[in-house]
Amino acid sequence: MPTWDGVQGFARQAEQLGFDSLWVCDHFLSDPGDRPVEGIHEAWTILSALAAVTTSVELGQLVMCSVFRNPGLLAKMAVTADFVSGGRITLGVGAGWYDAEHRAFGYPTDHRVSRFEEAVCILDGLLDGEAVSFRGRFYQVDEARLLPRPQRRIPLLIAGNGARMLRITSRHANAWNTAWYGIPGERLRSNLSSLEAALKTEDRDPASLRRTVGVWVEDPELVAWHDRDPDAFRGSTVELSHLIASYDKLGIDDLIVGLTPMSAESLDRLAAARDAWRRSAGSRRTA
């Protein structure tokens, strides 16, 4: 578990290296697979602290589980953190998936997408600065409004690949995320195709939605072969620059890179790969 000095040091280094954004995850427990459960700090608390110790880098969540917080509270938290950061927050939300975590802390696992859709309807209106009244099966608000009003429309990012989640994305989101990948393959292309179909069904301009992709990157010199994630990318700095180029060719707006290990050395390596890609192919954003 990193110390707070380590977390803020990592964030400041990323900002100094010119990365566009920093992202936190929203879990109570890790999904260990065949490894021991790892501790995770609460996402909004960490993000708010990062807002106070950075100055220019965008800050987001990949992603907030919609049932962990009432949508009115979540909107209020987003607007407050955006105030602290000077307008650098993206609110990332998803329907949740890790049943063991939900059961351990008493959160519901039923009607997950229906709960999510109601929450997003409320969030969307509140983030627009509107007075919102909504009576759904799971959430009800009556002339709810955010005071002080949002200083700007905070971008809403939705993560999800199912048909209903993509329809909700097309109706409400400013950005979309799909994760996690290594080398882009058929799974990613299929999800991109499904997104395009949903945008067409909802008569949404495809250019109005920011596309983000989560990519796991392991340093092969620092992660032992027997500890590797089979879905992560493992390659040299040059090969990593080629990986960035392959996502660029697919029209991805942002790569949200999960590094293993999360260290100064890994950040330097990623920055070197990004810079090599920029020199060879021009500039596109890489988070």
CATH number, position 118: 3.20.20.30
Tally of domains within the chain: 1
For residue 54, tell me if it sits in a domain. yes
Strand partners, 24: 61
| Residue ranges in the chain modelled with pLDDT below 70 | 32-34, 282-287
For residue 145, tell me if it sits in a domain. yes
The pTM (predicted TM-score) of the whole model is 0.95
**Can you give the residue range of the structural domain that contains 33?**
4-159
For residue 11, tell me if it sits in a domain. yes
**Contacts for 95-104: CB closer than 8 Å, 24+ residues apart:** 95/65, 95/66, 95/160, 95/165, 96/65, 96/66, 96/67, 96/68, 98/27, 98/29, 98/31, 100/29, 100/31, 101/27, 101/28, 101/29, 101/31, 102/67, 104/28, 104/29
For residue 53, tell me if it sits in a domain. yes
Question: What are the φ and ψ backbone dihedral angles of 103, each rounded to 5 degrees?
Answer: -65, -40
For residue 230, tell me if it sits in a domain. no
Instruction: Say what the pLDDT of residue 133 is.
Output: 98
For residue 277, tell me if it sits in a domain. no
CA distance 268 to 266: 5
